[in-house]
Structure 1
Amino acid sequence: MSLPPIERTTIGDGISIPRMISGLWQLVDDKNVDLDAAAHAMKLLADLGLDCFDMADHYGDAELVVGRFRATSSQHMLAFTKWCPPENGIKSFEAAEQAVDLALRRMGQEQITLMQYHIWDYSDDTYWHNLAHLRTMQQQGKIKHIGVTNIDAAHLELLIDTGFEITTNQVPCSVLDQRLVRGRLASVCEKHKVGVLAYGTLLGGFLSEKWLGQPEPEDIDALNGSLRKYLRFIRVAGGWEPFQGLLRALSTIAHAHNVSIPAVATRYVLDIPTVSTVIVGCRLTSDSSRYAERNLEVFSFRLTEDDHALIQKAQQALLDIPGDCGDEYRRPPYLTAAGDLSHHINIVQNDELREAIATGRRIEYSIGSPWEPIAGYCRAVRTGNHVCISGTTANSPSSLSLPVLGRHSARSQTVAILDIISRALKALGGTLSDVVRTRIIVRNEADCKEVSQAHGWVFQCEGVRPSNTLFVASLIGSEYLVEIEAEARLGSAGVLRLSS
């Protein structure tokens, strides 16, 4: 049987990639990878036209398989990788260079085509340092393009407004998870020509004939990591019954086109204008090319208007996945395999802070600004459960030659400022959800709407609405468009909203 031609697209400065990439995250759990056999499986996929592979520094031996492929084959192949360091305060260029050089050695390459960076915590300024280091190595020729993973619209826009050239954003997207298009992310990617690399398209395998008409798994812990993760997505989206309704709609369409449910689900995502490609999991075994041939049926048909209408009708029974793309790694509900962040982030307890709080001491938090000792102030002060945060601007991290964060965008400066405020609150034992009051100073009245929208989005994510004052006034430093100060009361149990 002849295979349909594989659709291709371009990213960056004209790099041609197939609209289906082989994702190698499943190699994480494989401790005994036969590098020669895996490289041979990679060659068979490349021979089919699936010549692009996605991996990361923590995907087991994935980068080593690329190195073996390079050493044993002249076949064209592209390898995208990721650097996902713990944001542990290590911000040196040497640490970043070691990570990139290790990837280059493992893959047997002189240049990384696409290095993707993952940010665990927007309030931790480590990522600004690391992205600046990656940009330096891009200028040196070690990296061709820089991408990001699981970045929401506001922070993607912030990075771009600050001056970073971001080629791609790898985010989850499926017929069930519509955050990409229901929020601002798709429009931000389209505006700035950022290619979307979509994963989670088949919900870890739930979007298949295997689960059609079947009962919901009773023991989530008996499932593999991917199924545990995406069962949490299904439950947050309304539960098993609405999901079965979606499966039935996909099955009807699949029968009409004589293809599989996975093909229909994948075709749906590929039809989203901002999606460059989908990433499909692959273990690089002797069966990989056989599974790939089955996956290629997605390129053999097109969804009709009636097909899209049927899918949309089934989607009406679903609830929206909360937040923006990537929020599952940063705030509740944690839609991860573990149901929390224990597999990703080590939370360090500050015993000194806990003791100071218990004994009622005044706690002052400084960020090392040279102005703090001169003017006699600090970023934030905690007394009891009350925290006051000084007027904050979008200063770039010290020691970096970056312009003001967000540069000429008041919206992005607001996002950066609230990240800095969040960092101060975390250092003092609180979060943005503890904020009871904000005061916003805007240089230009024309920016008030965008500043208000950014402020509203941040606190909507936190589930609170602080009291607020916004006014127009001069600010010291022509580059600063916004300044915000905040007050927080720690320890409230939930929110009661009253209306007049």
Structure 2
Amino acid sequence: MANQHIPTVTLNNGITMPQIGFGVFQVPDDQATAAVTTALEVGYRSIDTAAIYDNEQGVGRAIAESGLPRNELFITTKLWNADQGYDSTLEAFDQSLHKLGLEYLDLYLVHWPTPRRDLYLETWRAFEKLHSDGRVRAIGISNFEPAHIDRLVASGNIPPAVNQVELHPALQNRATVAANRRHEVVTEAWSPLAHGEILEDPLLADLAAKHDRSPAQVVLRWHLQQGRVIIPKSVTPSRIAENFDIFGFQLSDVELAAIDTLERDGRTGPHPTELN
């Protein structure tokens, strides 16, 4: 499976990004090394972490021990809310890079807009400097809603390449996806499986049986065919492998549309856009 061709998306600065990556949210540092090692062995080449996850060192160990060429990997981390601001962003970036043991990042994201603090425009100036200095290949945002995206694009010199948001069949974030598309920002889905809460849905069970796949594989395939980047997370080796094995089948337009109808009111996870 490690030789499986991974589809890519082209970001608005011309950089290509694997369409499927491995997420490590809520994976303790001492478990992150084993989980990322397994993911790399399975065939993942994109790893997504964040400063607040407190596992950048564990991720970095797995990268170093893998022996894989750096240019074959796509590494993302995120700036935490408390570190927003120009100088503090540059300092936080240095800390993350040191913990990861890397010389550059492929993608750096502003983790939340935190509009109460209203520092994300100043923070973005620091992101633009990191990009122009060649220390990160692409810069982006996470959990930004349409008004935040519009304001950032209007004031900045470099548009964000990616917006990573909660997105799954039960919460499709249509307004944000539309704003991303308007600004040529790639949509990346965190919690693409809704923490597993949607996988018992009868429609997904029927589609899984039809394609001889798991409900999780059906949902991940739904994301891919709609052009999104996904970062499924697991610490279970069999599920890490299963989540990657989504290239040998195709959902029809009718099946994709049926999954689209699963959206329901309410979020399945936290959405602290107002976090300080």
Class of the TM-score when normalised by the shorter of the 2 chains: 0.7 to 0.9
Distance 1:78 1:140 in 2: 18
Letter in structure 2 aligned against 1:20: I
SS in 2 for 1:299: coil
Q: Deviations over 1:420-439 (max 9, x none)?
A: xxxxxxxxxxxxxxxxxxxx
* In structure 2, C-alpha distance between the alignment counterparts of 1:55 and 1:39, rounded to whole Å: 11
Query: Which residue matches 1:195?
Result: 186
What's the counterpart of residue 249 of structure 2? Answer: 301
> Does the 8 A contact of 1:66 with 1:79 survive in 2?
no
Task: Identify the structure with bigger relative contact order (alpha carbons < 8 Å, sequence gap 6+).
Answer: 2
Which deviates further from its counterpart, 59-68 or 259-268?
59-68
Q: Which amino acid aligns with 2:242?
A: R
Distance in 1, matches of 2:270 and 2:219, equals 23
Q: Does 1:9 align with 2:9?
A: yes
- For 1:256, the equivalent position in structure 2 comes to 210
What does 1:271-286 correspond to in 2, within 5 Å? 271-273=225-227, 275=228, 277-283=229-235
- Whether contact under 8 Å (2:36, 2:62) holds in the other structure is yes
**In the alignment, structure 1 residue 167 sits paired with structure 2 residue 161:** yes
Output one character per residue of 1:236-282: Cα deviation in whole Å (capped at 9) or x when no partner: xxxxxxxxxxx101111111111111111122222324x2x111013
Q: Secondary structure at the match of 2:26?
A: helix
Aligned residue for 1:129, secondary structure, equals: helix
Query: Which entry has the higher C-alpha Rg, 1 or 2?
Result: 1
What is the identity, as a one-letter code, of the residue corresponding to 2:14?
G
How many Å apart are 1:202 and its aligned residue? Answer: 0.9
Partner of residue 124, structure 1: 117
Identity of aligned residues (%): 21
Equivalent residue letter for 1:248: P
Give the equivalent residue in structure 2 for 1:84: 80
Q: Structure 1 unaligned segments of length 5 or more: list them.
A: 213-246, 332-343, 346-500
- CA distance in structure 2 between the partners assigned to 1:267 and 1:170 by the alignment: 18
| Correspondence for 2:272 | 329
**Which of residues 109, 114, 117 in structure 1 aligns to 2:107?**
114
* 1:84 CA drift (Å): 1.1
2:63 pairs with 1:105: no
Q: Kindly state the Cα deviation for residue 54 of structure 1 after the two structures are TM-superposed.
A: 0.3
- For 2:30, the equivalent position in structure 1 comes to 32
Aligned to 2:220: 266
CA RMSD, 1 decimal: 2.9
CA change 1:72–1:306 in 2 (3 A) is closer
Structure 1 pair 63/193, CA: closer, same or farther in 2 (3 Å)? Answer: farther
Give, in angstroms, the shift of residue 38 of structure 1.
5.3
Shift of 1:5: 4.0
> CA contact under 8 A between 2:221 and 2:251: conserved in structure 1?
yes
| TM-score (normalised: structure 1) | 0.49
State the secondary structure of the residue aligned to 2:153: helix
Residue 67 of structure 1 and its aligned partner are, at CA, apart by: 4.7
Q: 1:129 to 1:200 in 2, by over 3 A?
A: same
User: How far did 1:141 drift?
Assistant: 2.4
* Structure 2, unpaired ranges of 5+: none
Deviation string for 1:38-97 (max 9, x for gaps)? 56435413xx2x10000001222234432552366133222100011327xx7451x222
Q: Is the 8 A contact 1:7 1:19 kept in 2?
A: yes
Tell me how many residue pairs correspond in the alignment. 272
Cα pair distance change 1:96/1:4, threshold 3 Å: closer
Cα distance in 2 between the residues matched to 1:5 and 1:112: 23
Query: Secondary structure at the residue paired with 1:292?
Result: helix
CA distance 1:101–1:267, shift in 2 (3 Å) = same
**Offset, 1:206:** 1.9
